[in-house]
Structure 1
Amino acid sequence: MKNKAMKCLLLVMAFAMLFTSVVVAETQTIQLMHYMGEKTKRDGLDALVKLFEEQNPGIKIEVEGVDAATYMTTYQTRMTSNDEPDFYFGKPRNMLELVLAGKFLDITDEAFLDNLLPELVEECSVDGRVFGFPMDAQVKATFYNKNLFAEHGVEVPRTLDEFIEVLDYFNSKEILPLIHGYNNVNCVFHELDAFLTAQVVVENEADLWVKAQSGDIKLAESEVMKEAMSIYAKQADYFDVGDFSLDQPTAIADFAAGKRPMFTNGGWIMGDVLVAAPEGTEFGMFPTPWSNEEENNKLWVGIDDVFLISAKTDKKDACLKFLEFLATDEAADIWMNYSKLMSSNVNAKTEDKAPYIQAIAAEIEGGNVVAKALVPDLTAEYSRSFRAMLQSFAISADKNVDEFLNDLDSELEYIRE
């Protein structure tokens, strides 16, 4: 009898051990690498991971942050050493060599992409195949302090002339109208790109930068570029000498504090702006005007935070399950609440979100957007030189457009040689 009982006990223990081993084997750990610098985004990602793990107890996600300045070197090192994460982070077209080398999983046929804005999915594609999942609909636009606008009875400008009128009004009240973080070359570029992208698309010159880099056109002979730089010069003229040393963190803090009413930049600044702003301050957004035809002034929309799956992952199904989760309305709401950005989800609800997010949603719903994907930028050394020259132009006393464009043509030619 005792032997029989012992056999039963051993049999139960064996089944228990077998069950435990099965459970352990079914628990998968996904490694996710990113270079998000903003705490609001990192907190949002942590919240999404936590909920996903609760809903999928057999999957764990380990998040690893890397330096944004050296992420490509980190990626290449990990790939070479066969120590790859399951998820990478970045824009597919900025990692073209790796995409073409087959380093990332093709997700073109995944149904969850139908939940995302087509313009963003397109920008995550290379040669017609999709390799990235965009988390948000990033914008470049003019953000404004709604409280200051209301205090002065200023209406939101929808045309170039109206925009100049608003700039002149605040200037006449001895309030510099625009934040200029001119110590940062990227801040300088964003001011131009916020309207130039829409302008070149409307004017059927979306390939302007591509042709300029290859030497097929001279920018000094482009009427579109002359007009754009003249508009830019006008905006840059509303400045203080201190703007030349104003870095982006200080510019964000100044905007949040209400020192100036407007800031033309990317939507990524707004999380930090809201954190720093006094309670009760609200911010709106409008597409930066370049034309007196309102329908031409479209909102710049592009990708920012994008996840890519490693082609070498042995957890493909689990990785796709995480992307499917990110495409849900619930995940979209969490991401917006934390990141303070507009979600890439076409069904995203914005009624309870900040006014500038509601404004972005309205522009998207109205079709008044221009996809950044339509206008390829200058690349590598060409881009670095252009931005440095644009910075010098912005802070110069004599903003001579013709001279600037001739010098830029010469610089691009020098790099080509």
Structure 2
Amino acid sequence: MAKHKKWSGLTASAAVLASVTVLSACGSNGNNNAAGSASSSSSASASANGGAASGGAASNEKVTLRLFSNLPDRKSGQGLAEQTVIDNYMKENPNVKIDVEALAEEPFKNKLKAYMASNEPVDITMVHGGAELSTLVQANYVKEIDPAAYEGEQFNFLPGVYKSFTFDGKLYGLPRNSDYEVIYYNKKLFDDNGVKVPTTFTELTDAIKAFRAKKIAPMSINGKDLWSFGELYQNIVQRYSGDQNLILDAVEGKKKFSEDESFLKAAQYMAQLRDGKLFQDAFMTADYGASQNLFTQGKAAMWYMGSWEAGMATNASLPEEFRNNLQVAKFPIAADGKGVATDLIAWNGGGYALVNSSKHPEAAKKFFDYLFNANQWAKVAWDTGAAVPAQKYELTGKESEVQKQLTDVLVQATSTPGASFIDYGTPKFKDDVQNAFGKFFSGGQKPEELVAALQAAADSQ
């Protein structure tokens, strides 16, 4: 079995903080001096755009490539950014047609498993780093790539971003975004109801009571998908322990979920949030889209989600009042904990991989390289406000307020784990952990039962 490369917490933190230094040099307000200081590397990438990375133009042979994506909305956000890069490539390479099959998150995951089982000849697929990519690697469905080929200004990847795509020292894909958890909130709902944006666990509890009294859902979450519970638990554990590595060490067996008090305290606080009705009614039946719709329609005050949702601020299909009041907050701290507000749960989760059964491996590789050219995905995703890339990006001065706030959260980070704990173990571990959270939130289990289930998952992986 291919083992996921285990990460040194110190190395992961240093790598992300090195990335932050690059962004901080650009500044968070998009001033002219800051933009100029970052433009040299971007210009170098742009000049490389017409070189090898554009690929395929020398041949007149007609080629149709298949790209499998988890971004079904092609008119806004990351789906628009992805489609823009595809359109750019097809314009520069008229002999190449790229057919996109795009499904929502959970249907995408299920169909990718089916494609893997049947060795379906997709050319490029979106992948989730960590446990899910590990399954594809073990099945020999995705292709190993050479990390040395993606060094330098042509691609401009930030330090340390390959970790969740690396198994047994080999690289099997590239990340598209820098992912980190925040709380998106509706400023108008807070202001109109006289509620303080929570910075501590106590203030979050107060906000829950205040919004419930007004018959407003305090926070929306995609409970049906289960994985957000894992990110939430990791955040809470860190706020109590102050240690980004603690939960990762527990996955590896270096520590015990059942022995460190931070794990139980986190489970107890999660039970308090559950029983206090932090989440919307029937949250366990809400998938990603349903949870987002509730928030964007102004029916929930907060949404616990990642930096990849930056595009909400510029999505013209969403209500203008919502977009004008969309804000970003750091995860609250525990008054009796050791974590601080600048401790950030950050990693590189989503990306793309080449498929071994591709019928056009050379053409697929050329488009893959073009996609990750620093002047394509990274630039388009940032300029359109779709996401925070895993590559260096240049501030334009036209950033949305949400983009500025997300950048501030990242540049102010003083520590990161470099990994989501649910993806840090084996695929079985991830399944067991997500099922444990499902039982905890739907069945009203005790905190001690959740901790025991997490320990059992770590022991049996």
Q: Same fold (TM over 0.5)?
A: yes
Question: Which of 80, 86, 103 is the aligned partner of 1:43?
Answer: 80
Number of residue pairs aligned between Structure 1 and Structure 2 = 386
Q: CA deviation at 1:287?
A: 2.9
Q: 1:127 to 1:374 in 2, by over 3 A?
A: farther
Q: Given the two structures, how large is their TM-score scaled by the length of structure 2?
A: 0.69
Give the alignment's Cα RMSD to 1 decimal.
3.9
User: Could you say if the C-alpha distance between residues 307 and 358 of structure 1 is closer, same or farther in structure 2, counting changes exceeding 3 Å?
Assistant: same
Report what 1:283 is aligned to: 326
* Equivalent pair of 1:107/1:132 in contact (CA under 8 Å): no
Q: What is the match of residue 407 of structure 2?
A: 361
Paired with 1:169 and 1:350, the residues of 2 have a C-alpha distance of 39
Structural mapping, 1:13-412, within 5 Å: 25-27=59-61, 29=63, 31-39=65-73, 40=76, 41-57=78-94, 59-65=96-102, 67-78=108-119, 84-93=121-130, 94-96=132-134, 98-99=136-137, 103-109=142-148, 110-111=150-151, 115-152=156-193, 156-171=197-212, 175-196=216-237, 202=243, 204-211=245-252, 218-239=256-277, 242-244=281-283, 246-248=285-287, 249-267=289-307, 274=315, 277-281=318-322, 282-292=325-335, 295=340, 297-310=342-355, 316=362, 319-320=365-366, 322-329=368-375, 331-336=377-382, 340-349=386-395, 351-368=397-414, 370-373=416-419, 375=421, 376-395=423-442, 400-406=446-452, 408-409=454-455
Give me the identity figure in percent. Answer: 16
Question: Cα gap change, 1:233/1:407 in structure 2, threshold over 3 Å: closer, same or farther?
Answer: same
| Structure exhibiting the larger radius of gyration computed from Cα positions | 1
Q: What is the alpha-carbon distance in structure 2 between the residues aligned to residue 338 and residue 68 of structure 1?
A: 26
**Alpha-carbon distance in structure 1 between the residues aligned to 2:214 and 2:189:** 12
User: Does structure 1 conserve the Cα–Cα contact (< 8 Å) formed by 2:211 and 2:217?
Assistant: yes
Residue segments in structure 1 that go unaligned for 5+ positions in a row: 1-22
Distance 1:370 1:198, change over 3 A: farther
Gapped runs of 5+ residues in structure 2?
1-56
Q: What's the secondary structure of 1:373's corresponding residue?
A: coil
Identify if the C-alpha distance between structure 1 residues 38 and 403 changes in structure 2 by more than 3 Å, giving closer, same or farther.
same
- SS state at 1:177 partner: strand
Distance 2:163 2:407 in 1: 19
Kindly indicate which of the two structures has a greater share of residues assigned to helix.
1
Q: Distance in 1 between matches of 2:241 and 2:366?
A: 37
Change (3 A) 1:251 1:207: closer
Aligned residue identity for 1:50: D
The offset of 1:229, in angstroms, is 1.2
Aligned equivalents of 1:97 and 1:241: distance in 2? 33
Which SS does the other structure have where 1:250 is aligned? Answer: helix
Change (3 A) 1:394 1:312: closer
- Over 3 Å counting, the alpha-carbon distance change for 1:324 and 1:198 in structure 2 is farther
Distance 2:333 2:97 in 1: 48
Tell me the distance in 2 between the aligned counterparts of 1:57 and 1:371: 43
- Secondary structure at 1:386's aligned position in 2? helix
Aligned to 1:7: none
Greater RCO, CA 8 A, separation 6+:
2
Give, in whole Å, the separation in 1 of the partners of 2:291 and 2:80: 23
**C-alpha displacement of 1:161:** 4.2
Q: Deviations over 1:166-188 (max 9, x none)?
A: 44544565544222444443343
Could you say if the C-alpha distance between residues 97 and 409 of structure 1 is closer, same or farther in structure 2, counting changes exceeding 3 Å? closer
Q: What corresponds to 1:19 in structure 2?
A: none
CA–CA distance in 1 between the matches of 2:276 and 2:397? 35
CA displacement at 1:36 relative to structure 2: 1.1
Q: Give the secondary structure class of the aligned counterpart of 1:116.
A: coil
